[in-house]
Structure formats: C-alpha cells, structure tokens
A and B are shown apart, each in its own frame.
Chain A
Amino acid sequence: MKSFKNHLSLVIALLSILFSLQIFTIVERSIDAYKENLATNYALVAVAQKRIDVKSLIRANPLVEDVEQLSPDAVIKRLNGSMSKKNIELLKLTLPKFYKLKLKHYPTPQELEELSAKLLRSQSINKVESFTKTHDTTYKLLLLFKTVVSVFAFTVLLVTVLLIFKELRIWQFQHNERMSIMGLFGAPVWLRSAVLFRLAIVDAIIAFLLAFALFMYLSTTEWVHKQFESIGIEVIFFDTLHDSLIMLGVALAISILLAVFIVLGHKEEV
C-alpha cells in the first residue's frame, strides 16, 4: 500500500469535518428539544378584572398556544366554612380572573417583553407575571452552551481546512507530475484527472463509512442515552438516513472540490 498515506491524510481531515458537523447537529437538536421541554413547562400568568375573550387573545398574539383559566375554587375552598354561600358567590364574581398562558415555543427575552407589554395594553388585563428572572438565566445558559459548541465546531472546521490546504500543495505536486506525463502522451484532461477524482470519491466514501460506523456505535451506547435521559430530553442522536445522506454529501462535495482545485491548478511544465 504505497498510497495508503495519501489516503490517510484526506480521510482523517474529512472524518474530523464530518465529526464536528454531526456534533453540531446533535447540540442543535438537544437545544431544540430542551427548548421545547421548557416551553411545555413554562407559562405566563395574566390577571384580569373581567373574563377575557380567549379566542381573540390567541388570534392577536401568535406566540400564545393556549389560554387556560385558573379556577379560584382552591382559594375559596379554604374560606368555605367561615363564609355564607351567598357571600362566596359574591366573592367569586368580584375576584380577579387568573389565566395561564401557554406559549408555542420558548420565548426570547425580547419576545417575552413584547408579549407582556401587549397583554397589559389590553384593558381587561392589569397584571402579567412572566417569571422573567428564572427565564432569563435559563435562556442565557442555553445560548452560552450553544455558542461554546459552535465556536468549538468552527475551530475544528477551520483547523481542518487549513490542514487540507497544506496537504493540497503536496497533492498538487504529486498529481501534477503524473498528469503532466499523461498529457505528454496525449491523454485528454478528463483522463488525466480520472485517477484524482476516483481517489477523491474513494476517500470521501471511506471517511463517510468511518463516521457512519462511529455514530451508529455511539447512538446504541447506553451511556449516551443515559446522558440525555438525565437532562430529560429525547434527541435523535443519529438519524440513519437523513444524517448519513448529509454526511456523504458533505464528504463528496469537499473532496470533489479539492480535486477540481488540483485540476485547475495543474500547470504543464516545459
């Protein structure tokens, strides 16, 4: 295997690109899943003097998924013994109405602020509790996590690309010699570069298969599942069809692009 080393460098470079790409995808998915998780647990509370029209409120605020009136019964029950039935009925009418607002997705702080302001502008609502403080911290933490992972993935990508460009010069030199010799015997350009494209495609497929095997293995590992379970989210770690198609596509695109670079950079020597 004389050319084993040539294969190795491109395969490793492609593999690290595929790896960081998939990790990025997984983080993206985890954050989405976690956001959804937060959204289902998160709700605003609005206090209104009169009964509000739920349908028009939802129509006016696309972010609101559902509005649920909180029953005052629990409060009233505690007063049950000490009050007359008539007084309780009266109290029920005068007591403000509490509404729990479920949102479609986990809001950004800005969205939350806008929503609160808009709700308060409607005359019947006089107080909105958005639990801003807890909300803010959780959200910022998520963003920070995402930024850290993005920077990490981007750095890996950048270093790999730089590595590839360094290798490219060596490959260019190696392939240039063979391509020149083939040219001296009258080989058309497609034939001169055929070897190169075959090499590029083979390397892309090898890198893809390695990445595929790696993530298949990880996705069946108990440990990985436990980690996600402990956060309370369910994430598709490796979507066998969708993710592998993307991986294969990216690997082929990069290596074929490299081959094109080499062919375009080919110079005939005198």
Chain B
Amino acid sequence: MDKVIVAKDLSLAYSDDETIINKANFSIDSGSFVFITGASGSGKSTLLKSLYGALKPKEGSLVVGGVELNGVSSSKLNFLRKHLGIVFQDYKLVKEWTVEKNIMLPLIINGYDKSVTQNQVDSLLKHVKLRHQAAKYPPELSGGEQQRVAMARALAHNPILILADEPTGNLDDYSSQVIWNLLEGANEQLKTTVIVVTHHIPETMGVRYKHYHIEFGAIREVL
C-alpha cells in the first residue's frame, strides 16, 4: 500500500536544549484513519506542525505526499500544502474575512471556478450547520462555531491528507458527532487520509483506525 507519510529517525525541536520528538520512525498508509493521543505538552501539535512543514525536522527524514520536508523549498512546500486540509488547535481563521470567505480560502488558492467554489461552500456550511452565520466574522462566533468553520475550510478542496489538531476540543457531544461524521465520510468516500490529534477517541467510530501515542518524545503504536 502507498505511504502518505514516512518518518525515519525524525527529531523535532524548537531549540537546541530541548528535543520534543526524538528519533521517531513511523509510516502512515494512504487512505488510513489515524488517531494521535498523548498528555498535554507531549508534542502532538509539534508533530502535526512538522507534517505541514511549519517546523523543519531537526534531524532525520520526513516525507509527506512524496515531498521530503527536511530542507524543502518554499515552492515545493506550497505545492504540498495546497493538497492538505489542516484544522489548527487555535483555528487560525482570518478575522477580517467572513465565515464564507474563510472557507473559500483553499478553493481560491487552488484556483477553483467561482461557481464551483460557491456551491462547495454552501454545501459545507450546511454540513457544519453554520448556514445562518455565513456573513459573520470569526470574532462574532463562539469557539465551537469557529472550530466548525475551521473544519469546513479543511475539507473544502478535497485534500489528500487531513491534519486535525483537537478538532472537537471545544464542541458539545452533538457538534462533536457532526465533526466525526464529516471526517469519517471524507475517509470512506474520498479515501482521504485523516490524522486526528485528540484526547478521547470516540466510541462510535465506524471506520477502522490506527492509534499512535506520544510519550517522552517517542511515538508508539497502540495495538
């Protein structure tokens, strides 16, 4: 099976004194559904940052979607990022843009047609139950609503890989279920690889998934 991510002796750090991930080896199959758990501060977000190229590997090799991220050029990185769907832990919505425009961002960057873009955004707004908020600005929304906007944006351009950092962290049970259904749907129907950082793996998961746990700088599969 194709590998969408291959890490060899991967070390991650923000400074020379402290290594967050230490010589990790793992690979993720294309089309799989992966959970990453770990205590607060264990390095889950740090690992995701390295996967979308915001944190360069300190040592080792990290290949995502066929692109080696150790020493990657900015044009290659842009190319890769166009095909990723990221849900950030702090949402990272553009405050001065409406909800609608925020969701459009990946579609604009990928050069989609205007009419396609509008249809896609309408359908996503319906899925994340934010149709009535389309013209609002992020600071006018609750945390949970902002998180759903971020989810919709990550799904907008049918990415090959979704990276979601605690995407249900601020949601009630009902809204969380909406998010899990969307992620499962993308994985099942579009064969999108999904990697989710979470504290609780939902009991209702309908798809087969893998589970990695981060502890003391090591990434280990939970069988």
**Residues on A facing B (Cβ under 8 Å):** 2-3, 174, 177-178, 180-188, 191, 268, 270
Contacts and interface: CB of A to CB of B under 8 A. Distances in A.
A178 B94 contact: yes
B29 interface: no
Given A177-B95, A178-B96, A270-B14, A184 B81 contact: yes
B105 interface: yes
A185 B96 contact: no
A187 B84 CA distance: 12
B81 A186 contact: yes
Contacts of B96: 2-3, 174, 178
B82 interface: yes
A185 B55 contact: no
A16 to B, nearest CB: 26
Candidate in B55, B79, B95 with the most chain A CB atoms within 10 angstroms: B95
Nearest to B109: A187
Interface residues of B, number: 27
A181 B105 CA distance: 9
B199 interface: no
Interface in B49-96: 49, 52, 54-55, 75, 77-84, 86, 88, 92-96
Nearest to A175: B96
Nearest to B78: A186
B137 A187 contact: no
Contacts of B31: none
B64 to A, nearest CB: 13
B109 A177 contact: no
B43 interface: no
B167 interface: no
B54 A270 contact: yes
A174 B96 CA distance: 9
A185 B14 contact: no
Contacts of A186: 77-84, 106, 109
29 contacts: A2-B137, A3-B96, A177-B94, A177-B95, A181-B93, A181-B105, A182-B94, A182-B109, A183-B78, A183-B81, A184-B52, A184-B81, A184-B88, A184-B92, A185-B81, A185-B82, A185-B84, A185-B86, A185-B105, A186-B78, A186-B80, A186-B81, A186-B83, A186-B106, A186-B109, A191-B108, A270-B49, A270-B54, A270-B55
B92 A181 contact: yes
Contacts of B79: 186
A181 B75 CA distance: 16
Contact of B54 (A177, A184, A188): A184
A185 B106 contact: yes
Contacts of A3: 96
A191 B94 contact: no
Closest 3 pairs between A and B when the two form their complex, measured CB to CB: A186-B81, A186-B82, A186-B78
Nearest to A191: B109
A185 B54 CA distance: 11
Given A2-B96, A184-B52, A184-B92, 12 more contacts: A2-B137, A177-B95, A181-B92, A182-B109, A183-B81, A184-B81, A185-B105, A187-B109, A188-B78, A191-B109, A270-B14, A270-B54
